Amino acid sequence: MNTVEVKGLVKTFDGHVRARRRGRGDQVRALDGVDLAAEPGEYLVLLGPSGCGKTTLLRTIAGLEQPTEGEVLIGGNVVNGLPPRVRQIAMVFQSYALYPHKTVLDNIVFPLRAEGMAKDERDRKAKWAAELLDIQPLLRRKPRQLSGGERQRVALARALVRDPAVFLLDEPLSNLDAKMRATARDELKRFQERVGTTTIYVTHDQAEAMGLGDRIAVLEHGRVRQVGTPQEVYDDPADTFVATFIGSPPMNLVRRDGRLVGFRPEHLLPVENVPADARVRMPFQVERMEYLSGDRHVYGTVTGIGEETRVIARLPATVGTPLEAGETREFAVPAERLRFFDADGGKRAAAVPIGGSP
């Protein structure tokens, strides 16, 4: 039994008021037939560009939005029409939404008081959660006296005490500065591993998605493009959207006979660095180079395997080949690293042989 499942979910926003407020102009179909399931204990990440419907999906699961069509199941029960409070969920908002007028302790026990739990029990649970997240010294403070990371932990503690069937996290790291973010991400992961609760996590940051998710669901225009482990979505993208959305720099795509031939920048290397048995060679004209944390990003044009296309090659520090802007060199990609897409729909297509001369 899946902890959370959505079937054929469609959400349209009626009227222009909402669309305008969300800054999405005339787009009204926020979810366009979404099927997705999270298994018990799984860390499922919803990844997509802004406006792709990932937050709407999360809010629909939470019960903050009602779906136009389709069903939401939590613990096997259809929860359509139920208010958020009876859905056995806990949510952490992007802003953490701590009640600014309550102390940390009062924030944590707030959901328990709503349930009408006895005071001893409440305090015991709050202490347990505070200990787990290491925030006991902060219990008497007000939210405004906390740092961003501490706020996140308080929000998590508040979510934890409810014993929810699922945690819903809406871009919880986006309000932190870059340095905090790495630590907070690590904390989030370890926290989930310890409590083992199913978690659905929304983000637009692929590094977060790759680092945190057991599985990643890539969304675009209200549709799920691909669901899979981080490795699957990276190595075997289902279509050109996923291929170019994930990976930095994105996958190179070269048009050839109604197909798009794709390969990751790190697989495009000077020919002598690619095993000779199965490689695809191509002349690469170097235009300019960037030196980024040990890697060389080389921008240039390839010819020979299809139409002339601008691509990026990422050479690791171990590749010492001297390169100059303006020169043309022989590069190659291992044949098994090539991915093929239909040029029209962008979907994965069968491999076609390319003059794989060694």
Partner 1 sequence: MTAGSGRPKAGLADRDGFLAWVMLLPSVVYIIALVGVPFLLAIAFAFSDVTTGDPSFDFVGFGNFAEVFDDGVFWRSLRNTLFFTLVSMVLIVVFGKILANILVADFHGKWFVRFLVLLPWTTPVALSTVSWLWFLDSIFSPVDWVLRNLGLIDANVVWLGRPGTAMASVIAVQVWRLTPLAAVIVMAGLVAIPRDINEAARIDGAGFWRRMFEVTIPLTLPVIAVAGLFGAIMTFTDMTVPYVLTRGGPTHATDVLASWAYFRGIEGGDVGQGAAIALFLFPLLFAGAIAILRAVRRLEAR
Partner 2 sequence: MTTVINVEGLRKRYARRHVAARCGVYGAAVLAALVCALPFLWSVVSAFKQNQDLYNPESNPFFYNKPATPDHVTFLFTDTPFLTFVVNTLIVGAVVVAVTLVLALPAAYSLARLDRPWGTPMGIAIFLVYLVPPSLLFLSLTRVVVWLHLEDTLWSMIVVYPTITVPVSVWLLIGFLKAVPKDIEEQAMVDGHSRLGAFLRAVLPLVFPGIVAVVVFSFTLTASEFVYALAFVSASPEMVVSTGVPTQLIRGDVFFWQSLQASTVITAVPIAFLFNLFLDRFVTGFTMGAVKT
87 lines the binding site for partner 1 (CB under 8 A):
yes
Rounded to a whole number of angstroms, the minimum distance from the CB of residue 2 to partner 2 is 20
Which amino acid belongs to residue 111?
A: P
**Residue 344: partners with Cβ closer than 8 Å, 6 or more residues away:** 258
Rounded CA gap, 99 and 175, in Å?
17
Q: What are the tokens at 24? A: 């999405």
Rounded CA gap, 295 and 248, in Å?
12
313 alpha carbon, distance to own chain's centre: 24
Which amino acid belongs to residue 101?
A: H
Rounded to a whole number of angstroms, the minimum distance from the CB of residue 341 to partner 2 is 39
Candidate segments 13-21, 49-57, 130-138, 226-234, binder of partner 2 by CB under 8 A: 13-21
160 lines the binding site for partner 1 (CB under 8 A):
no
The interaxial angle of helices 178-195 and 119-133, nearest 10 deg, is 120
Candidate segments 46-54, 97-105, 266-274, 285-293, binder of partner 2 by CB under 8 A: 97-105
82 lines the binding site for partner 1 (CB under 8 A):
yes
Among 72, 90, 126, 254, binds partner 2 (CB under 8 A): 90
Which residue's CB is nearer to partner 1, number 36 or number 79?
A: 79
**How many CB atoms within 10 Å of residue 138?**
22
Residue 69, strand partner residues: 10
Which secondary-structure segment (H or E) carries 123? helix 119-133
64 lines the binding site for partner 2 (CB under 8 A):
yes
33 lines the binding site for partner 1 (CB under 8 A):
no
**Half-sphere exposure of residue 162: CA atoms within 13 angstroms, side-chain side:** 26
77 lines the binding site for partner 1 (CB under 8 A):
yes
x/- map, 57-76, partner 1, by CB under 8 A? -----------------xxx
Among 8, 25, 35, 86, binds partner 1 (CB under 8 A): 86
Rounded to a whole number of angstroms, the minimum distance from the CB of residue 160 to partner 2 is 12
Which residue's CB is nearer to partner 2, number 93 or number 340?
A: 93
Look at residue 81 and give the partner it binds from partner 2, partner 1, none, a contact being a CB closer than 5 to 8 Å depending on partner kind: partner 1
Among 8, 70, 2, residue whose Cα is nearest residue 42: 2
x/- map, 164-203, partner 1, by CB under 8 A? -x--------------------------------------
23 lines the binding site for partner 1 (CB under 8 A):
no
Start-to-end C-alpha separation, the chain: 50
Look at residue 132 and give the partner it binds from partner 2, partner 1, none, a contact being a CB closer than 5 to 8 Å depending on partner kind: none
88 lines the binding site for partner 1 (CB under 8 A):
yes
Determine the Cα angle at 124 with ends 118 and 127, to 5°.
Answer: 135
Among 259, 260, 243, residue whose Cα is nearest residue 251: 243
**Residue 318: partners with Cβ closer than 8 Å, 6 or more residues away:** none
Among 114, 278, 317, 352, binds partner 2 (CB under 8 A): 114
Rounded to a whole number of angstroms, the minimum distance from the CB of residue 62 to partner 1 is 12
Q: What is the DSSP string of 150-184?
A: HHHHHHHHHHHTT--SEEEEESTTTTS-HHHHHHH
With contact defined as beta carbons under 8 Å apart, do 132 and 187 qualify?
Answer: no
Q: Which residues bind partner 1 (CB under 8 A)?
A: 74-77, 79, 81-83, 86-88, 165
Q: Which residues bind partner 2 (CB under 8 A)?
A: 15, 17-18, 59, 62-64, 83-85, 89-91, 93-95, 97, 99-101, 110-111, 114-115, 158, 162, 168
